[in-house]
A = this chain, B = another copy of it.
Amino acid sequence: MKIDLEHINRAFESKARLGIMSILSVNESADFTTIKNLLGLTDGNLASHARSLEEAGYIESRKQFVGRKPNTRFVITPAGREAFAIHLKALEDFLKNRPL
């Protein structure tokens, strides 16, 4: 029995990260509050996942003022887009090829 999990990327293991990367892979960018609400995360939770994804080079944060309020937007990086595509393919392969 061969279980090929090699290309499943630890950086995307949690469902919160799956969600963040999915949102950013189909939007130019998305701001903190939008992602938080879409995924039902807490501020702290989203902040720590986003920081890890940023440190891995998969997303970038853009900070700006909207009126008098600070606003953080995130964008996926080319490396993030590629790594996430490989991860999803690995999940698909795992599901397709798993022993039944």
Interface residues of A in 1-27 (CB under 8 A from B): 1, 3, 5, 8, 10, 13-16, 18-19, 22-23, 25-27
Interface flag for A92 (CB, 8 Å): yes
**Among B10, B38, B92, which residue has its beta carbon within 8 angstroms of that of A1?**
B38
Q: How many residues of A contact B (CB 8 A)?
A: 26
- Copy number in this complex? 2
Contact (Cβ within 8 A) B5 A98: no
Interface flag for A66 (CB, 8 Å): no
**Among B1, B18, B88, which residue has its beta carbon within 8 angstroms of that of A26?**
B1
| 22 residue pairs A–B, Cβ–Cβ below 8 Å | A1-B23, A1-B26, A3-B19, A3-B23, A5-B15, A5-B16, A5-B18, A5-B19, A8-B15, A8-B18, A10-B14, A10-B15, A13-B13, A13-B14, A18-B94, A22-B98, A26-B99, A26-B100, A88-B98, A91-B91, A91-B95, A92-B95
